[in-house]
């Protein structure tokens, strides 16, 4: 199996109206996701900040006030890093994800049946939704990530593609897996998150924590309501080694 890099990022709708409120929302998205394309055409810029967060080089007092108001409404925290360069911190994002934290959270989850059942009441999406047992792979991963401090209840996810989008925003673009199973795609001692979308036979999606120890590549995931450990090749590949999913992504941590 070969690994191909991909820089595909989730797309976000941009309103064409350029009122102050819309410009404020556009700048908030731009600074949060590092995309100039969210800003109205008349306010886009070419340069980027040294710390990797792209922001408008100059904001009027009215726009800055609007940004603060929108941030407070959405639960984000905004700090005035400098008069020209405000810093936007996404709501619920409390830091990076280490391999050790992810490994510990996944190992502690094995054999549990209480993860991924219900979306937290303070989640910004799907609050209090009871997730069907057959669809709990993403919600269970959300609960694991909550214990690491990487994810808050507000950013709880229940859909594979939405979780992949969130992980891409916070961890960077994943590797794309193509071709037959090759354990060398998973370095010994590494841990990460693997996703598969568009199952070739039934169109379903799946996501799991993956780790390699020696010759064993295993996943920890939700199987019909229970967190279990199984061989990766048995769940993401067919017997001949070909992939079960049309699109497979791998976030690797070491």
pTM, 2 dp: 0.64
In a domain, 1, yes or no: no
* 52 in any annotated domain: yes
User: Which among 89, 117, 138 is the end of a domain?
Assistant: 89
Sign of CA dihedral 87, 121, 153, 164: negative
Specify whether the CB–CB gap between 158 and 119 falls below 8 A: yes
Nearest residue to 112 (alpha-carbon basis) of 250, 246, 225: 225
Residue 42 belongs to domain spanning = 14-89
219 and 135 co-located in one domain: yes
Q: How far is it, in rounded angstroms, from Cα 58 to Cα 67?
A: 13
The greatest distance separating any two alpha carbons of the chain, rounded to the nearest whole angstrom, comes to 62
**CATH number (domain holding residue 109):** 3.90.1720
Same domain, 73 and 129: no
Does 58 reside within a domain? yes
Tokens of 4: 């191909």
One digit per residue, pLDDT tens: the chain, 254 residues? 544 444 444 443 434 444 444 444 444 434 443 433 333 334 434 433 333 333 333 333 443 344 344 444 444 333 333 333 322 223 333 358 999 999 999 999 999 999 999 999 999 999 999 999 999 999 999 999 999 999 999 999 999 999 999 999 999 999 999 999 999 999 999 999 999 999 999 999 999 999 999 999 999 999 999 999 999 999 999 999 999 999 999 999 87
Quick one: DSSP state of residue 162?
Answer: H
Burial of 233 (0-12, 13-18, 19+ CB in 10 A): middle
Residues 54 and 23 in one domain: yes
Residue 128 burial (CB count, 10 A): 10
175 located within any domain? yes
């Amino acid at each position: 199996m070969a690994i191909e890099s991909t820089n595909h990022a989730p797309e976000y709708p941009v309103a064409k109206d350029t009122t102050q409120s819309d410009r404020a929302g556009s700048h908030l998205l731009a600074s949060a996701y590092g995309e100039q394309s969210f800003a109205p055409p008349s306010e886009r810029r070419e340069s980027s900040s040294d710390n990797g967060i792209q922001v408008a080089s100059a904001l009027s007092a009215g726009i800055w006030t609007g940004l603060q108001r929108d941030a407070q409404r959405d639960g984000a925290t905004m700090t005035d890093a400098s008069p020209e360069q405000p810093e936007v911190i996404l709501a619920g994002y409390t830091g990076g994800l280490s391999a050790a934290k992810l490994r510990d959270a996944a190992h502690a989850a094995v054999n549990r049946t209480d993860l991924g059942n219900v979306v937290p009441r303070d989640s910004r999406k799907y609050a209090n939704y009871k997730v069907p047992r057959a669809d709990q792979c993403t919600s269970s991963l959300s609960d694991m990530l909550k214990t690491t401090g990487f994810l808050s209840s507000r950013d709880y996810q229940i859909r594979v593609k939405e979780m992949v989008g969130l992980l891409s925003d916070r961890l960077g673009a994943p590797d794309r897996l193509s071709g037959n199973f090759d354990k060398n795609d998973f370095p010994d001692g590494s841990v990460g998150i693997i996703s598969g979308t568009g199952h070739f036979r039934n169109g379903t999606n799946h996501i799991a924590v993956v780790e390699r120890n020696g010759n064993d590549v295993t996943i920890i995931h939700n199987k019909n309501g229970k967190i279990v450990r199984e061989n990766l090749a048995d769940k993401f590949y067919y017997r001949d080694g070909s992939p079960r999913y049309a699109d497979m992504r791998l976030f690797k941590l070491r």
